[in-house]
Amino acid sequence: MKRSWEYIKFVLLFGLVVFLFSFTKQRNSSRNLTKTNIEFLDEGIPFITRNTVNKLLIQNYDSVTSIRKEKVVLKEVESRLLENEMIRNADVFISLNGTLGAKITQRKPLGRVAASPDYYIDDEGKKMPLSSVYTARVPLITGVAKSNFNELTPLLIAINQDPFMKSSIVGLELQQNGEIVLRLRKHDFKVLFGKPKAIANKFQNFKAFYKKTKQDNKLSSYKLVNLQFGDQVVATKI
């Protein structure tokens, strides 16, 4: 009899817990959202404003506080955010206190293509529109028009990751034969980089040449620096 009573108490207690959980969950779902919280995970200045992201989060509602929790479909909100061409990834969630949160990762432009209109190339080699919020300080790509920049992307990534090259290079000119000419920020001479291969070695050779020539105060006497000959730098004077 004692064992039966303990079993009955367990069933009643379990039923009460289930009831309270269901009641709390239903009550919580019927509440309205309280606010939005937008976090940009990548470093740097946003290419899309928080206000724009907020509008995408609440869509057709006047404010976030007029939206019931149960009406929010997180996957749909994430898909809506990902349709924006400035956003690479979006993680949307609702906290216990009713905050509709979004963690945003933006696309990263590495080069700007001179076209009609201009556009960026991101670190995946894909086209990215210019932002009305912020202009990225990246090399200008001119010359032969291309729609596929997969071969060029590793060079753009390498430039972005190398502080000296990033601060020095302002342009890349694409030639008909697939070779690349680099234009520098403070100097008139051009750098014939060739095809985007052996990138690290060419960077090392150029930096060694630049350092030595600068020490000798002879940078202004050159019109072309050729990096296509292995470990040898061939420089043509004016």
Q: Is the pLDDT of residue 217 over 60?
A: yes
How much is the mean pLDDT over the chain?
A: 85
Which of 192, 210, 189, 203 has its CA nearest to residue 231?
203
Which long-range contacts link 26-31 to residues 24+ away (Cβ below 8 Å)? 28/69, 28/96, 29/68, 29/69, 29/70, 30/68, 30/69, 30/70, 31/68, 31/69, 31/98
Which of 207, 210, 180 has its CA nearest to residue 195?
180
Q: What is the pLDDT of residue 186?
A: 86
Question: With respect to CATH, is domain 109-237 assigned 3.40.640.10?
Answer: no
Residue-wise pLDDT tens digits, 140-169: 999 876 667 888 999 999 999 999 999 999
Residue-wise pLDDT tens digits, 113-128: 999 899 999 999 999 9
Q: What is the mean pLDDT of residues 12-23?
A: 48
In this prediction, residue 15 has a pLDDT band, given cuts at 50, 70 and 90, of low
Q: What's domain 32-106's architecture?
A: Roll (3.10)
Residue-wise pLDDT tens digits, 56-113: 998 877 787 878 888 888 999 999 999 999 999 999 999 888 899 999 999 999 999 9
Structural domain boundaries in the chain = 32-106, 109-237
Instruction: Give the residue carrying structure tokens 């556009």.
Output: 119
